[in-house]
Chains A and B, each alone.
Chain A
Amino acid sequence: MRVVVDHVSKTYTDRGGRSVDALRDVAFTVEAEEFVALLGPSGCGKSTLLNVIAGLLAPTRGGVWFDGARADGARGANARALSAMVFQEFALFPWRTAQKNIEFGLEEAGVPAAERATRARHYIELTGLAGFETRYPHQLSGGMRQRVGIARALAVEPAVLLMDEPFSALDAQTRQLMQEELLGIWDRTRKTILYVTHNIQEAVYMADRVIVLSRRPGEVLADVPIELERPRTEQMAGEPAFVQAAERIWGLIKAQAWAAIAE
């Protein structure tokens, strides 16, 4: 299964008829079991692109394809989603407990209650939420909340996991730990992940490939492969491959980031 982003452009038009190009002719593919980071300065349309892939926004031109995905639209126990999103602001339902949040997508897919509970159980264990099932989101720390967000997305067993700056609302230490945690989860599930971030260190540390987007209108500037072994460790931040990749990416977007500040 691979995700093909096929020359996607997105133009927003406001009521006054003025139009803004958010994305211009973005094309790349994400292979099965690949961890790809999508990186760019703020306002490069990263989130727009993710929403297009998630089917939450129609592109102006181009399209997104899932090659090799079953198109049977299965409901019930065998339901699998094409994609599932992990949101920057968590977007958990405050009136649902952790477990009920995780079961949300399964409910909508028509999975029977017993099967929902079993699957939720599995992902609760996987994301380290055991013991917190009955808590409401406001009773959880930021890190725990995003674990719920990740478990909720994994529970629908999507072909690709879309993550929109999932840890940027967390404090620096929690973020570091959650990155490790996610790499561990990825290792165990081998889920295809498309990970949006503006943090170069984070992208290089986690991803197999980093796709660098330009400022608005977002275009693919480079597709940087990260030649680091797995499993990744914090110590790799000192390795030449890490430093070179990070420097190359910074070189690509530094001028654009300056321009973004001046805007």
Chain B
Amino acid sequence: MTRLAVEDRTRFLIRRDHPWWRVLAVVGILVVWELFARIGWVPVLFLPSPIGVLREGADMIVSGEIAMHVAASLRRLVLGFAVGAALGISVGIAVGFFSIAEAVGTPVIAATFPIPKIALLPLLILWLGIGEASKVAVIALGVFFPMAINTYTGVRQADPLLVRAAVAFGARRWSVIRKVMLPSALPMIFAGLRLGAGTALLLLVAAEMIAVESGIGFLVLHAGNLMQTTKLMVGIVLLSLLGVLSHWSLNRLERVAISWRQDH
């Protein structure tokens, strides 16, 4: 008789963390890129070296150019995002709770949602002028739709049992909305905010390519026109950082707002 040991047959399913591979991937790409630039296989005009981009960035920080562009972009982004999110959440709640609002809102949203918002920019410029208003408006519009749709879905998914419990304990319409529907919808609202943040960044850059003197979008377009590729790359890195920053801050905010959730 031989003895056979029982082995853990799920071993190949285990997903490990590979912290070194993470670092290696980023560093490796940068090193290879730098090497390409140094050897001169690719002209610096097409692909500036990472160190060159870094140096250019440092110069632009010292000269205050970056601060100026980032401040202009952030102002548009934050304003547009706030307006779009506030409107989207309000409309989403109304459409989710009131049946008349739902009857009116769902077909209107379904019809307007698929329009690429960037196509509305000329119209918005016509209505609101070439200045800041039209830029903020197009960002707000881009954020509005994912917010409205997600909030609506979140409100509709509120547990009917909890709604009934609230009513059983004396809650009227506004209490039900504020104390049951809204907290129920919070996870969906945050998912919407994340979607909206991506759209907002996209629309920001597009809007900043029309008739502006500042902003990261302007920086990228302008540097491209002058074939200042290194400067252009600085702009792209700034956009990436902006995206990472918004994602990170939304995560922090969500953790605070939904602290009661099981998975935190």
User: Digit string of A85-97 for contact with B (CB within 8 Å is 1, else 0)?
Assistant: 1010101111110
Q: Write out the residue numbers on chain A whose beta carbons fall within 8 Å of the beta carbon of B240.
A: none
User: Digit string of A138-158 for contact with B (CB within 8 Å is 1, else 0)?
Assistant: 100000000000001000100
Q: Are B167's CB and A156's CB within 8 A?
A: no
Q: In this complex, what residue of A is CB-closest to B167?
A: A56
Q: Are B170's CB and A91's CB within 8 A?
A: no
User: Digit string of B200-225 for contact with A (CB within 8 Å is 1, else 0)?
Assistant: 00000000000000000000000000
Q: Are A156's CB and B170's CB within 8 A?
A: yes
Contact of B170 among A81, A92, A94, A95 (CB under 8 A): A81
Decide if B111 is an interface residue (CB 8 Å cutoff): no
User: Digit string of A160-188 for contact with B (CB within 8 Å is 1, else 0)?
Assistant: 00000000000000000000000000000
Q: Write out the residue numbers on chain B whose beta carbons fall within 8 Å of the beta carbon of A253.
A: none
Q: Write out the residue numbers on chain B whose beta carbons fall within 8 Å of the beta carbon of A94.
A: 260-261
Among A89, A93, A109, the one with the most B-chain Cβ atoms within 10 Å of its Cβ is A93
Contact of B164 among A81, A91, A93 (CB under 8 A): A91
Given contacts A93-B180, A95-B183, A136-B260, contact A84 B161 (CB under 8 A): no
Decide if B157 is an interface residue (CB 8 Å cutoff): no
User: Digit string of B159-175 for contact with A (CB within 8 Å is 1, else 0)?
Assistant: 00110111111111001
Q: Are B168's CB and A108's CB within 8 A?
A: no
List which B99-125 residues lie within 8 A (CB) of chain A.
none
Decide if B179 is an interface residue (CB 8 Å cutoff): yes
Contact of B165 among A87, A95, A156 (CB under 8 A): A87
Q: Is the interface of A mostly helix, strand, loop or mixed?
A: loop
Contact of A91 among B161, B172, B175, B261 (CB under 8 A): B161
Given contacts A93-B179, A93-B180, A93-B183, contact A108 B164 (CB under 8 A): no
Interface size class of B (residues with CB under 8 A): 20 to 34
Q: Are B175's CB and A108's CB within 8 A?
A: yes
Q: In this complex, what residue of A is CB-closest to B263?
A: A138
Q: Write out the residue numbers on chain A whose beta carbons fall within 8 Å of the beta carbon of B165.
A: 85, 87, 91-93
List which A43-96 residues lie within 8 A (CB) of chain B.
54, 56, 81, 84-85, 87, 89, 91-96
Decide if B10 is an interface residue (CB 8 Å cutoff): no
Given contacts A87-B161, A91-B161, A93-B162, contact A109 B170 (CB under 8 A): yes
Contact of B169 among A95, A105, A136 (CB under 8 A): A105
List which B136-184 residues lie within 8 A (CB) of chain A.
161-162, 164-172, 175, 179-180, 183
Given contacts A95-B183, A108-B171, contact A89 B260 (CB under 8 A): no
Given contacts A95-B183, A136-B260, A138-B262, contact A104 B168 (CB under 8 A): no
CA gap between A152 and B172 in the complex, in Å:
18
CA gap between A243 and B112 in the complex, in Å:
69
Q: Are B169's CB and A84's CB within 8 A?
A: yes
CA gap between A64 and B147 in the complex, in Å:
44
B51 CB, nearest partner CB in chain A, Å: 50
Among A96, A104, A136, the one with the most B-chain Cβ atoms within 10 Å of its Cβ is A104
Q: Write out the residue numbers on chain B whose beta carbons fall within 8 Å of the beta carbon of A96.
A: 260
Given contacts A95-B183, A95-B260, contact A85 B161 (CB under 8 A): no
Q: In this complex, what residue of A is CB-closest to B183?
A: A95
Q: Write out the residue numbers on chain B whose beta carbons fall within 8 Å of the beta carbon of A84.
A: 168-169
List which A189-232 residues lie within 8 A (CB) of chain B.
none
Q: Write out the residue numbers on chain A whose beta carbons fall within 8 Å of the beta carbon of B161.
A: 87, 89, 91
Q: Are B162's CB and A91's CB within 8 A?
A: yes
Q: In this complex, what residue of B is CB-closest to A108?
A: B170
Q: In this complex, what residue of B is CB-closest to A88?
A: B161
Q: Write out the residue numbers on chain A whose beta carbons fall within 8 Å of the beta carbon of B171.
A: 104, 108
CA gap between A74 and B243 in the complex, in Å:
54
CA gap between A56 and B170 in the complex, in Å:
11
CA gap between A22 and B205 in the complex, in Å:
61
Given contacts A87-B161, A89-B161, A91-B162, contact A56 B168 (CB under 8 A): yes
Q: In this complex, what residue of B is CB-closest to A54?
A: B168
Q: Write out the residue numbers on chain B whose beta carbons fall within 8 Å of the beta carbon of A156.
A: 169-170
26 pairs across A/B with beta carbons < 8 Å? A56-B167, A56-B168, A81-B169, A85-B168, A85-B169, A87-B161, A89-B161, A91-B162, A91-B164, A93-B165, A93-B166, A93-B179, A93-B180, A93-B183, A94-B260, A94-B261, A95-B186, A95-B260, A96-B260, A104-B169, A105-B169, A108-B169, A108-B175, A136-B260, A138-B260, A156-B169
Extra contacts, 15 of them, besides A85-B169, A92-B165, A108-B169 (Cβ < 8 A), are A81-B169, A81-B170, A84-B168, A84-B169, A91-B162, A91-B164, A93-B179, A93-B183, A104-B179, A105-B170, A108-B166, A108-B172, A138-B262, A156-B169, A156-B170
